Every structure is written in C-alpha cells, then in structure tokens.
Amino acid sequence: MRIAIFGATSEIAKDLILSFASSAFHQLILFARRPEVVTQWLTTVGLHDIYGAHTFNEFKNSDHYDVIINFVGVGNPAKTAILGAGIFEITYRYDDLALQYVSLHPKCKYLFLSSGAAYCSTFEEPADENTKTNLDINHIKPQDWYGVAKLYAECRHRALSHLPLVDIRIFNYFCHTQDMSARFLITDMIRAIKNKSTLETSPHSITRDYLHPTDFHQLIELILTAPACNTAVDCYSQQPIAKLHLLEIMQKEFGLIYKVVSSNQGIVATGNKPNYFSKNKQAAHDFLYAPAYSSESGLIEQTRLSLGIQ
C-alpha cells in the first residue's frame, strides 16, 4: 500500500514507521511541519535511503495514496498546556487536508489518531461503549481544549459516513524511543531511576492502560486490511495497571525510589482522570484486535530497553 503519514515527527508515528520498515510491505511518504527533523531522524535510524520527508505544501490531491494516517497533534502534556486553544487550528487544518483528499478519492482510507480525551469525560469510571460526553459548555476550561478538538474532528468524520474514516483513540502509549524529558508518569519514573533520585508522587489512586508499539502496529495493519468502514475504536492492552502497583513494580524491577507527598502537583494538561482507560472492545469486534501485551509486561520490556538492560 502507498501510505501518506501526516505528522511524521510524532514519537508514535516514528515507532510505526520503524515497524512498517521491518516488514517492507508498504510504501511510505512522510509529511511534517518540520521535515528537516524527520530527515535527521531517518538518517539516525538508517532509513534515509528508503523514505523521504516532505512539507505539507508538497501534498497534492492529484497524487495516489491508498491510506492517510494523521498523527498531527501535541503528544507532550507541557506543550499541550502551552498551546491551549491553538490545538483547534492545528487539528482542523491537517484533518481538513486529509478529508479533502479522501472526498476526491473515496477509496483511500483515512486513519485519524484521536485520543481518549475525546470522550470529554471525568473518567471517574473507565470508558465503555455507553460512556456519555460530560462537557460543561458554558464553562469550558483550558484543559478541555484538547479533548474538544478531538471530539470535533470525530464528529466531522461520523458525519461523512460514506467515507472510509477510522478514528483511533489512544489513551496511554509507551515506547523506549520516547522523549524521556516529557512530563508523563512513566517518564518521570524512568528519569528518577536513571538519576537515582526520589520520585515524589501524590497519594491519589489512578489507573492507566499503556499501549505497546507492537500492539499499535498490529491494530493499524488490521484496519488497513479490513473492509472499508467509518468508525472509532479505543486502544487497549491486555490489562491496565494502577499507579500503586506500577510504583511497586518499578521499585522491584529497577530500584525506583519514590515518596508519596500530598503537595505533589504534576502537569494535568487535559484534566485529572482517575481511570483513564477503556473497556470498549470494539476493536476486537470490528478488526479482530487481540493485544499481545498487558500494561505491566509492556512497561517492563520497554523500561529495560530504555535503561539499556539486556
């Protein structure tokens, strides 16, 4: 398949490109707002002779693509907080570019990287097929912008029910290739392990579900080979993990030193979410998705790789 990758600077996009490259089944054309960053990365990973990086101005509706996968967005909580409502313009601009193409070429599948935040839920309970959006329309807060932008994009896609559009909601994802300076719980843990420092964390109980790059690649391939459809699916591992258990695992496996403090304030760019994961298994029903990793097994494997442990 000839696949256009939008947002090739994205960490999760890079992981998928590496997975695609290992099988050599697809021809990838990479687009980015900063193509020089992609070119440098391709050289680093030894793919500069296979793929090239292009600006979005080089994307033409007259070219042929079987699939567009759109990763454009902000994956770092600190950057999300700084960007604020600007996420609307970024999300809309590149989503519209893809939709214009698919409208002219309705056999081209469009995969949009959405987020669990699209539920606009407080996540007091995990999401499922019956979860309702909980948005205070008269008092929208800055931490709502990201989720609302994703929700708006998904609504546009459902309205175009005749086109092959699949929204893929990522909740949490971790690979050893990620930027370890990003302010996520897991990256905070790994930095503390590397620096032999003490991680300070709040006593609040939270549960997360971490998608492994192999399972993400599996889901993408299943969507690519399945009959065309217009739908949204939630990503999930075999089993989510609670923060306390994760702390204990990281302490046991890697010597993490941590301290529970009531004053700890992490970055909550998209709001506090005690149970930020999904029980919605539509991906299994629609695409026969069966994750190979649990959050625990995936995190242990990828943390070992990050720390250089064989």
Rounded to 5 degrees, what are φ and ψ at 170? -90, 130
Which amino acid makes up residue 199?
L
Mean pLDDT of 48-68: 94
Query: Are 90 and 151 contacting, i.e. CB atoms less than 8 angstroms apart?
Result: no
pLDDT at 79: 61
Q: pLDDT band at 74, cuts 50/70/90? A: low
pLDDT at 220: 98
pLDDT at 192: 95
Q: Which of 83-87, 177-181, 290-294 has the weakest average pLDDT?
A: 83-87
Q: Which of 72-76, 210-214, 224-228 has the weakest average pLDDT?
A: 72-76
Q: pLDDT band at 80, cuts 50/70/90? A: low
pLDDT at 186: 93
Compute the distance between CA of residue 190 and CA of residue 199 in angstroms, rounded to an integer.
9
Which amino acid makes up residue 300?
I
pLDDT at 83: 66
Mean pLDDT of 298-307: 96
For the stretch 121-166, pLDDT in tens is 999 999 999 998 888 888 888 888 889 999 999 999 999 999 999 9
pLDDT at 136: 84
Which of 43-52, 84-93, 256-265, 281-290 has the highest mean predicted lDDT (pLDDT)? 281-290
Q: Which of 1-5, 91-95, 120-124, 180-184 has the weakest average pLDDT?
A: 180-184
Mean pLDDT of 177-197: 90
Mean pLDDT of 252-264: 88
Q: Is the pLDDT of residue 271 over 60?
A: no
Q: Which of these, 20, 14, 18, lies nearest to 1 by C-alpha position?
A: 20
Residue 147 to residues 222, 238, 282, Cα–Cα distance (Å): 26, 25, 20
Residue with the bigger pLDDT between 104 and 204: it is: 104
Q: What percentage of the chain exceeds 90 in pLDDT?
A: 77
- For residue 215, give every residue at least 6 positions away whose Cβ sits within 8 Å of its Cβ, in sequence order, or none: 235, 237, 289, 291, 292, 293, 298
Q: Does domain 2-175+210-240+276-294 match CATH 3.40.50.720?
A: yes
pTM of the model: 0.92
pLDDT at 258: 95
**Domain residue spans of the chain:** 2-175+210-240+276-294
Q: CB count, 10 Å around CB of 226? A: 14
Query: Are 143 and 84 contacting, i.e. CB atoms less than 8 angstroms apart?
Result: no
Q: Which of 68-77, 114-123, 149-158 has the weakest average pLDDT?
A: 68-77
Task: State the number of CA atoms in the 13 A half-sphere of 81 facing the CB.
Answer: 10
Mean pLDDT of 82-102: 88
Mean pLDDT of 72-87: 67
Q: Is the pLDDT of residue 7 over 80?
A: yes
Q: Is the pLDDT of residue 280 over 70?
A: yes
Q: Which of these, 184, 172, 175, 154, lies nearest to 269 by C-alpha position?
A: 184
